Amino acid sequence: MLLIMKRIIKNLIYIFPVLLLMEGCNSFLDVKPQDNILEEQVFSSVDGFNIAINGVYADLNQNGLYGANLSGGMLDVMAQYFDLSNREHIFAQYPNYDFANDEYKSRAESVWSRAYELIANTNAILYHADDKKEMLGDIYYGIYKGEGLALRAFLHFDLMRMFGSNYQEDQDLEVMPYMTQHERKVQPLTSNKDLVNLIIKDLQDAKELLKVVDPILTKGVLNFDDPNTNKLNYRQYRLNYFAVCAMLARVYLWAGDQPKAKEMALEVIQKGQVAGSEIFPWVTTEAVNNRGEYPDRIFSTEVLFALYNTNRISIQNFQYSYTLNQFQILTFIGNVADGRVPVLYPNENDFRRKLHWAQRVNNSSTEILYFTKYLDVTDTEGVSNAYRYMFPLIRISEMYLIAAETAATLEESAQYLNKLNVNRGLPEITLTSQDELKLMIENEYLKEFLGEGQTFFYFKRLQMGSIPSPSRPGVDRIPMQKGFYIFPLPESETSQRN
């Protein structure tokens, strides 16, 4: 509880100094045995709840989570995207899946500890939401309880995708704990099957709460400041109703329940993209082509759930910048015209080819191919403010890919894929076989989620026996083993169970 209160108090100091003045700085910061009293003070108002849950969202940007480890670097290297032929590269050990390596151990420990810390903080919010239901009122109770349940499910699911084994083969294998208490005590390991059931229950409960109170259903994402309603604005930066439905689609697909996965994906598509009143409209050609130095490379209008990361440029600078040397940069083999870029994006009109890759001469007079998705964008008119700090975690395009994968016929699959194709500057396609469909979906994951850490989990869900090679793209595939997909539990966890 001490750790929870320190982090919540840190957020209060930053965002809500008036409360500190009311309580007296010395007494409020004196975190001692009266933690229960302090916790009651934090959760004594709607503002306190808002600050607490904002603190969880903000802390998802930690380097141990989506600020670095889960933002595409490590996971995308494991998905074999990049040219790491130089054995001195700082990521050189990751394509070998040597989980005994100290670098792997350190990153896995960081993900594990940070995620469970935020789960504990979220559980504190959930506990007090029930206790203060009358004070919160129906709307804020539904928002904070719904988002809290969704956050708990979201974090557990990503931990499961990393540390869990193959769901279809090992449903009864105990893999990790599902934490529902805000005290950090050792909890029993939970089986794959029970984990999925607990995640689904939290998401279903969140969906039921949010469908009644989430303003996104009637007013959209509310992507603007309003001093009277800011607690309910910017819904794309919260686990809103549509993001929860999308998470259910992800989890059902992971568990092999294709009908329910399709049902949830279509709910997002059909309610989120009603013609003429789209909540998540496709990125426009104008946003892609006609904004000079500040194009919408994130396709921000399509993002169902994102983090607001004012330090997002560090992801670009420390992983993809053309100024990095050959031992640091994560990039494809070859160049824009010859190498993995034209293999993965054969059509030059593909928005992702045009917006996500460039060449530039570095300080050593060497022409460098580099990934540009997270370049900083700013303009005097403020157009780019909507996406400058956005880091996407769930996209509507993923729902189209899930719908295509779970469709009853090839014709139906092609309809969903063509909707994505047309909105990426590509022509429509026809499908003639299941193998063609699988390859098409694989290629779309590779293109759509580069830099977002999702592709490795796609390969893991399907337990692919081989994945595309970064050194001979379009020709070779790298053989995979079951163990390559499973992060071992960190020593901090296993040592408590010996």
251 within domain boundaries = yes
Give the tokens for residue 6. Answer: 């320190």
Q: Tens place of pLDDT for every residue, the chain, 498 residues?
A: 434 444 544 444 343 333 332 333 333 223 334 456 678 888 999 999 999 999 999 999 999 999 999 988 999 999 999 999 888 999 999 999 999 999 999 999 999 999 999 999 999 999 999 999 999 999 999 999 999 999 999 999 999 999 999 999 999 999 999 999 877 778 999 999 999 999 999 999 999 999 999 999 999 999 887 666 668 999 999 999 999 999 999 999 999 999 999 999 999 999 999 999 999 999 999 999 877 778 999 999 999 999 999 999 999 999 999 999 999 999 999 999 999 999 999 999 999 999 999 999 988 888 999 999 999 998 767 778 889 999 999 999 999 999 999 999 999 999 999 999 999 999 999 999 999 999 999 999 999 999 999 999 999 999 999 999 998 877 899 999 999 999 999 999 998 876
Is 300 strand, coil or helix? helix
Instruction: Answer yes or no: is 205 within a domain.
Output: yes
Residue 406 placed within a domain: no
Question: Which residues lie below 8 Å from residue 349, measured CB to CB, with a gap of 6+?
Answer: 425, 426
Tell me the whole-structure pTM to 2 decimals.
Answer: 0.92
Question: How far apart, in whole angstroms, are the C-alpha atoms of residue 222 and residue 304?
Answer: 13
Distance CA(41)–CA(132), nearest Å, equals 12
Domain count, the chain: 1
Whether 399 is in a domain gets the answer no
Q: Please state, as a whole number, how many other Cβ atoms lie within 10 Å of the Cβ of residue 177.
A: 18
In a domain, 229, yes or no: yes
**Residue 40 contacts by C-beta under 8 Å, 6 or more apart in sequence?**
none
Domain containing residue 114: CATH number:
1.25.40.390
Would residue 17 count as lying in a domain? no
Residues spanned by the domain of 219: 43-280+465-494
Please compute Rg for the chain using Cα positions. 23
The angle formed by the CA atoms of residues 166, 120 and 122, to the nearest 5 degrees, is 95
69 occurs within a structural domain: yes
Q: Is the residue at 328 inside a domain?
A: no
